[in-house]
Each structure stands twice: as structure tokens, then as C-alpha cells.
Amino acid sequence: MTLLEFKDLRVTYRGSRGRLPAVRGVDLAVDAGETLGIAGESGCGKSTLAMAVLRLLPKSAEVSGQILLDGEDLLAMGWGRLRAVRWTGASIVFQGAMHSLNAVQRIGRQIAEPILVHEPKTTPAQAAKRAEALLERVGLPPSRARSFPHELSGGQRQRVMIAMALACDPDLLIADEATTALDVMVQAQVLRLISDLVRERGVGLVMISHDLSVLSAVCDRAAVMYAGRIVEQGPAHEVFAQARHPYSAALGAAFPVIGDPAARMHPGGLAGDPPDPLRLPEGCSFRPRCAVAVERCGAESPELLEVGAARVSACFVAQEGMPVVG
């Protein structure tokens, strides 16, 4: 059953330099209990996509299309209904670096807050109990409820963010760069915690990261975004092991293989910068950085088409069954 579905989602920011398209027509679906990873470099629109789900984008953003959560269009909701859906239908694990938590409130109170907002019959004492239980579930001692955010380490704060996101038993969890600021060991622990919780509670997960190893560790399916569009989608390990889009291939190659001297001497990666969203190139927006581009790429913009079992790619080369690595 489809839990979350984007239908031709477009987000445009009105800025001083003009209208800036951040998301340019995304169609994507997540089933209940499924885990989807969204990868891409900074500025590709993946965080805009995440924030659009709960309509947390700034006022300067114009959103069109549909975002269906359990069949209900979030973009057409009234404010009252939207507030009720926030955190109960879907919640977000923000990047837990200092600023996502209120620095002057004890974390127990911050975890209990959404419970009190959405379940008015709960007493503060019951909510506090539940907050402690949540802390325990994410591997922190319940006594931590009395701590302030600055008294915790980065990893502990991220655990608090996860506990907070689970407070109202949402059907969908959105993790936006949730482990980005953590060191590798802590990152692995937090990732394991997220996968365990997702499996245990059967919630859907949308995980957003620029780090492919993070996504392939947690997600069933992966989508790669470039310049506001999905360029490739498929089972996570396949997308990263055998990319069917030159951009996914470059993203995968950007992470060196530890212990491989060849990777050390010739770090992979991608020349050039992400395109200026105000002046996107004609045809395929990846063409200027692409090693395998053909003549057609400059004239037409490729659609997402099937390129194998459960795999789609927006690349003319891949669609013709040719290798995408030059």
C-alpha cells in the first residue's frame, strides 16, 4: 500500500535573482514499511523535497503538484488538518547538531511536547513517562530527560532527535541528513538504531543523504536526484553497485575504497559544479559534466524510463543499454 506519493512535485523559490526552480517535477512513491533513500549533492533539491512533505518550506517557496500521505493531499489541506498530520502522520529526524533542539528547554520536555499537542487527554506526567521510555529505546538513560541539549554529545543529541520523531508513532519517518555531522563510528550506531526502529515499528522511512554508503546500509530502494529531478531509481545496492546513470556512477566513485591503492592515487569524483538552477543547460541538465553524452543529450531532456527489473533511469545512453561509465 502506498504511504507517501509525490505527483509531479515542483518547488520554485522566489528570490532577488529571479525564480529559482529547486524541485522540477518529482514523481516518487514510498510504500508502508518501506525504506527509500534519496541521494544527491548539495543543492539538488533533496532537502526541499523533505521539507515540502510537512509544508515547512519558507514563504518564498511556490509548491505545485501533489503530495499524498495515506491518500490525502498535504498541499490541499487546511492549516488545522495539517497541524494534526504533522508529527502523527509523518515526522522528521532533523540533523541533530545543536540547533534543531531548543537550547533552553530540557530534552524530556521537548520530546513530550508533541505528545501533549496531539493527544490532549495525556497528562504531563504520562507524557514525561513516555519521553523517558523513548529515551531508553534509543539507548539513552531515562535520567537524560533532565539534561539540556548542550550537555549531550552529538551522537546523543541525534538519538534524542530520533526519540522525538517517534513520540507520536508516525507512519512515516523522514531523516534529513540525520547522520551527516557524526563521526563514522557513531554514525554506524545511529544508522543501526534507525534501521532497527523502522523494522520494529513498521514505519516507512525516507532517508536523505549525500552519502551513498549511509543509504545503501539502511535502504531497500534508492533514488538519485540531480538538479531538482530524479535521474535514477532502483533497489539500493544495485543503484550503487551498477549505476544506470552517469551521475549515480560518479557519486558512487567519489567514495574511495579503503585499502585500494588505485583509489587513493586516483580519487574518483566529478569535475565541474552543479548547474545554476537559474540557467539550466538545454537538453539533459547533466550533459556538461557527462563523460558519455551523445548528440541527442543536448537537444532533448531524457524522461525516466525503465532500464531493467524495477529500475528506471533518465539517461539516453542507459536507456539504449550502453554502459554509463566512460
Partner 1 sequence: MTDPLPPADGASTEAPSAGRAARAVERRSSTGFGRYLLKHVSGAAVSLLLVLFSSFFIFRLIAGDPIDQLTKERPVSPEQRAAMRAELGLDRPLWQQFWDYITGTLTMDLGESFQYRRPIFDLIVERLPATLLLSGTGMVLAVLLGFWIGTRSGWKQGSRFDKGQVATGLVLYSAPTFWLGMIVILVFARYLGLFPVNGMRSPSTPPDFWSQAVDIGHHLVLPVLTYTAVVYAGYLMIMRSSILDEIGSDYLTTARAKGLRDDEVRQKHAVPNALLPTVTLVFLALGSVVNGSIVTETVFSWPGLGTLFVNAIFYPDRPVLQALFVLFSSSTIVAVLCAEILYWFIDPRIRRS
For partner 1, the binding residues (CB under 8 A) are 51, 54, 56, 83-88, 91-92, 94-95, 99-105, 113-114, 117-118, 139-141, 143-144, 147-148, 150-151, 153-156, 164, 185-186, 189, 193
CA 88 to chain centre: 18
Instruction: Using alpha carbons, select from 93, 70, 236 the residue that is nearest to residue 173.
Output: 93
In the complex, minimum distance from the CB of residue 268 to partner 1, in angstroms, rounded to a whole number: 31
The size of the chain, in residues, is: 326
Please tell me the distance from the alpha carbon of residue 96 to that of residue 262, in angstroms, as a whole number.
36
Choice between 63 and 292, CB closer to partner 1: 63
Go through 41-67 and write b for each residue having 16 or more CB atoms within 10 A of its CB, e for each that does not: bebbbbbbbbbbbbbebeeebebebeb
Q: Which is nearer to partner 1, 193 or 243 (CB)?
A: 193
Shorter beta-carbon distance to partner 1: residue 91 or 285: 91
Based on CB atoms, which residue is closest to partner 1, 32 or 97?
Answer: 97
Neighbours of 261 (CB within 10 A): 8
Nearest-approach distance from CB 97 to partner 1, in angstroms = 8
Cβ at position 305, least distance to partner 1 in Å: 35
CA atoms within 13 A on the CB side of 183: 4
Copy the grid coordinates of residue 127.
Answer: 507524557
Closer to partner 1 by CB, 41 or 119: give it. Answer: 119
Nearest approach, Cβ of 189 to partner 1 (angstroms)? 6
CB of 185 to partner 1, least distance (A): 8
209, 180 Cβ separation under 8 angstroms: yes
Q: Which is nearer to partner 1, 182 or 297 (CB)?
A: 182
Closest CA to 81 of 52, 110, 54, 120: 54
- The least distance separating partner 1 from the CB of residue 171, rounded to whole angstroms, comes to 15
Q: Are strands 204-209 and 35-39 parallel, antiparallel or unpaired?
A: parallel
